[in-house]
């Protein structure tokens, strides 16, 4: 059976779908937030925060999650790893994170 997965990116502020939507993070009072915005709405957010950013003090960069929704991934996709694992008699779940042991075995084989 073939499957096709379609990812739809939606601006959290307007609800409009767009390929230009990106995830942005910010923090306030020790709480981290993520919001998906098209560029024009990100500009609105940045303009609204600009006076506070200009007057505030930097405390260093926040740690950025490496598991971003649209980040480029080095190596095979999870689907490719699962297919390879099944062909090589590994047990792997249909969903969730592919175990590191399977990724390592794939890398050794290639």
Residue 61, φ and ψ in degrees, nearest 5: -85, 140
- Whether the model pTM is above 0.95: no
Walking along the chain (110 residues) 10 residues at a time, the average pLDDT comes out as 87 91 90 92 93 88 58 73 92 85 89
Residue whose tokens read 């506070």: 52
**23: enclosing H helix or E strand:** strand 22-28
């Amino acid at each position: 059976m073939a499957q096709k997965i379609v990812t739809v990116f939606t601006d959290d502020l307007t609800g409009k779908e767009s390929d230009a939507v990106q995830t942005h993070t910010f923090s306030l009072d020790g709480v981290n937030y993520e919001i998906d915005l098209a560029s024009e709405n990100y500009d609105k957010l940045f303009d609204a925060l600009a006076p506070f950013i200009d007057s505030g003090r930097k405390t260093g960069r926040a740690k950025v999650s490496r598991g971003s929704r649209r980040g480029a991934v080095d190596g095979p996709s999870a689907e490719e790893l699962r297919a390879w694992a099944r062909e090589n008699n590994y047990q792997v779940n249909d969903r969730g994170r592919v175990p590191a042991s399977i990724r390592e075995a794939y890398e050794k084989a290639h």
